[in-house]
Amino acid sequence: MAGLFDTIGISGTGLTVHRKWMDAIADNLSNVNDAVPGDQPAFAERYVQASSAPGGGVEVTGIRYGSSAGIESYDPQNPLADAKGYVRHADVDVTGQMTQMIMAQRGYEANLSVLSRATEAYQQALQLGNK
């Protein structure tokens, strides 16, 4: 039974890491069109860092940030333009983020499937004990 509980616990940690990964990707994609005055830092992409956890599973160990340099463009009509007429947009790689989202979603689904099957096995083991 201990192995079954380990499987449930490890899958649970995988779900958490993949959910946080998807949250970071959603944050990155939702800020893709953000603009700030040219003299301010742009939105910096978030990257979830994970590693193996003591006792099994994985855990988020931190968030790494991309460059806040962004992409500067001359747009004096933009209400956010600085005194020189420049705005800075977030430099988010949408294609890369979508690829990351697919990977994170598949990882989440795989962990959910393992968790579901382990739960079913645990329930069946309980039913055998009741007979």
User: Confidence band (pLDDT; 50, 70, 90) for 3?
Assistant: low
In terms of residues, how long is the chain?
Answer: 131
**Averaged pLDDT score across all residues of the chain:** 90
Question: Does residue 1 register a pLDDT over 60?
Answer: no
Q: Which of 24-28, 35-39, 78-82, 115-119 is least confident?
A: 115-119
State how far the alpha carbon of 87 is from the alpha carbons of 50, 65, 110, in Å.
Answer: 34, 21, 42
- Residue ranges making up the domain that contains 116: 2-129
Verdict on whether the full-model pTM lies above 0.85: no
Contact status, residue 63 vs residue 44, Cβ threshold 8 Å: no
Q: Please give the Cα distance from 108 to 11 (Å, whole number).
A: 9
Question: Does residue 131 register a pLDDT over 80?
Answer: no
Q: Please give the Cα distance from 52 to 75 (Å, whole number).
A: 46
